[in-house]
Chain A
């Protein structure tokens, strides 16, 4: 089989003059840096949900030691999650051409014979199933999730988080085994020969440098048609990204929406002036406030973005409402706001209930917002009242708030 050039098991089957240690090493080192950033920003996003605070924030309660690094998510700088998650998603999309080119550059090894030269070699090849399968799994689930195409087998949070650890386990081993070789390949000016270099190369149609520009051009195209979904003033340039192009409507409420009122199953009758009451519970009992009574409480404003786990964000919006710590004071927490359990009118959805940590409640910019950009909140942005907390992931900024329960969680 090895000698028949019509079969991929023969080195003579692979004819591209591009393949070789230099090309693979450059792509490998780009991925080494890029995937490390993806992994770290992914872990950061997981921490931003404060999963160890309450079961309602935690979609992966069986995480065990994989949550070893969790910390209380800060509220400053207020654009922190916007930055880390925008980086995670935008960089992930940008790296797709590099990943595809890297896999193309090493595909002859998939068919290399003999299948294993030693026990270690056999394990290394087995590990590549986790590396390639796990890596593609992470990219595919991420790309599908941001397009709301929930065809993957289970909850996105569970699959993408545990999948990341499976992939990263194989990635670290691969990086430690290969990086020294890759660096050596780049330092060497004279091309060494290895099994990736075709023994019977076809006539070149592009140089190796040209091919790298080609890959980089693909990355640049994806980047430049995606990055705009993280900035209101650039949004029109994000031609194919899910939250690029247009804003949903004009005026003060015309900024990006993750879930509309209709999608969340909000009945307008429940949010009317007569029907809606905010129920606040704490140390000293329960208080019920109508929307008009909330308007009479001291009001404050904060300029904060909406930043979604899907990687898009808005520029700072000007919110106005009642400070969460002032609401805590109404039910017996004067000066020492505790954790907060928030419940929405939402009928379904993974985050219709959410928990905020004491440091988030205490921040003077954390509001139960009633107005945005000088106008009442629209139904799609959470009328009659929504939470807005600096640096918190979008889904923790609960809309259509019905009940606030203050107390240690």
Chain B
């Protein structure tokens, strides 16, 4: 008996072949100037995200969950939001484009780090306040047992 290769659904197959043809049409143009570096950026973006960034933040999250249990969200939310801002605005916050930024826009590049730190402080402070308020409210509702 001969082994047959499983093909799968014909609609999905046609759709994917069409998609690859269009991607190749644009891809030839995308890779025309510096194909190795552009390809490295595209594959690298996926690899860096899936195999570095995601495992790193998942591991950090696991540490928080392990240490805090049910109170996890009070730390997880402000930490993640602060990290998100840092991830998106890293070039400005780190100052790595400061010279070009100042010279091109006429604006000061100095405030970004300070503003990010203040937002981070506000996020953690807000979360702490919320935690205190909720803990107190829960205590009031459940008066301590008699000793």
Question: Do A380 and B5 touch (CB < 8 A)?
Answer: no
Query: Known contacts being A119-B7, A123-B16, A246-B108, is A214 close to B42, with CB within 8 Å?
Result: no
Question: Do A158 and B33 touch (CB < 8 A)?
Answer: yes
Query: Known contacts being A147-B89, A222-B84, A222-B88, is A133 close to B20, with CB within 8 Å?
Result: no
Query: Known contacts being A133-B45, A172-B19, A240-B85, is A218 close to B80, with CB within 8 Å?
Result: yes
Question: Do B50 and A107 touch (CB < 8 A)?
Answer: yes
Among B93, B104, B119, max chain A CB count under 10 A is at B104
B121 within 8 A of partner (CB): no
Chain B residues, CB < 8 A from A119: 5-8, 13
Question: Do A127 and B22 touch (CB < 8 A)?
Answer: no
Query: Known contacts being A110-B50, A136-B46, A249-B106, is A117 close to B6, with CB within 8 Å?
Result: yes
Question: Do A137 and B42 touch (CB < 8 A)?
Answer: yes
A153 within 8 A of partner (CB): yes
Question: Do A170 and B23 touch (CB < 8 A)?
Answer: yes
Question: Do B41 and A152 touch (CB < 8 A)?
Answer: yes
Question: Do B50 and A149 touch (CB < 8 A)?
Answer: no
Query: Known contacts being A124-B16, A165-B22, A240-B112, is A93 close to B88, with CB within 8 Å?
Result: yes
User: Which of B19, B34, B106 is within 8 Å of A248, CB to CB?
Assistant: B106
User: Which of B8, B23, B77, B80 is within 8 Å of A120, CB to CB?
Assistant: B8
B128 within 8 A of partner (CB): no
Q: How far is the CA of A127 from the CA of B73 in the complex (A)?
A: 36
Question: Do B88 and A173 touch (CB < 8 A)?
Answer: no
Q: How large is the interface on A (under 10, 10 to 19, 20 to 34, 35 or more residues)?
A: 35 or more
Chain B residues, CB < 8 A from A225: 85, 119
User: Which of A93, A103, A148 is within 8 Å of B50, CB to CB?
Assistant: A103
Chain B residues, CB < 8 A from A177: 12, 15
CB distance from B44 to the nearest CB of A (A): 8
Q: Which of A10-50 contact B (CB under 8 A)?
A: none
Among B25, B69, B70, max chain A CB count under 10 A is at B25
CB distance from B122 to the nearest CB of A (A): 10
Interface string of A150-167 (1 = CB under 8 A from B): 001111001100110110
A293 within 8 A of partner (CB): no
Q: How far is the CA of A260 from the CA of B101 in the complex (A)?
A: 10
A193 within 8 A of partner (CB): no
Question: Do A153 and B88 touch (CB < 8 A)?
Answer: no
User: Which of B18, B25, B54 is within 8 Å of A173, CB to CB?
Assistant: B18
Chain B residues, CB < 8 A from A66: 25-26, 29
A289 within 8 A of partner (CB): no
Q: How far is the CA of A110 from the CA of B112 in the complex (A)?
A: 36
Chain A residues, CB < 8 A from B115: 239-240, 245
A303 within 8 A of partner (CB): no
CB distance from B137 to the nearest CB of A (A): 19
CB distance from B88 to the nearest CB of A (A): 6
Contacting chain B: which of A56-64, A319-327, A383-391? A56-64
Q: How far is the CA of A244 from the CA of B56 in the complex (A)?
A: 31
Query: Known contacts being A165-B26, A260-B106, is A120 close to B13, with CB within 8 Å?
Result: yes
Question: Do B7 and A153 touch (CB < 8 A)?
Answer: no
User: Which of A140, A169, A243 is within 8 Å of B22, CB to CB?
Assistant: A169
Question: Do A162 and B30 touch (CB < 8 A)?
Answer: yes
Binding site for A on B (CB under 8 A): 5-9, 12-13, 15-20, 22-23, 25-27, 29-30, 32-34, 37-38, 40-43, 45-46, 49-50, 54, 58, 65, 69-70, 72-73, 76-77, 80-81, 84-85, 87-89, 91-93, 96-97, 100-101, 103-108, 111-112, 115-116, 119
Given contacts A153-B40, A169-B22, A240-B92, 18 further A-B contacts (CB under 8 A): A118-B5, A119-B13, A120-B9, A127-B16, A127-B19, A129-B43, A129-B46, A137-B45, A143-B88, A148-B105, A153-B37, A166-B23, A205-B72, A218-B80, A221-B85, A240-B115, A240-B119, A248-B106
Q: Lowest 8 A-B CB distances belong to which pairs?
A: A120-B8, A165-B26, A153-B37, A118-B8, A162-B30, A173-B19, A136-B45, A118-B6
11 contacts between A and B (CB under 8 A): A117-B8, A153-B41, A173-B15, A177-B12, A205-B69, A206-B73, A217-B81, A240-B116, A245-B111, A248-B107, A258-B104
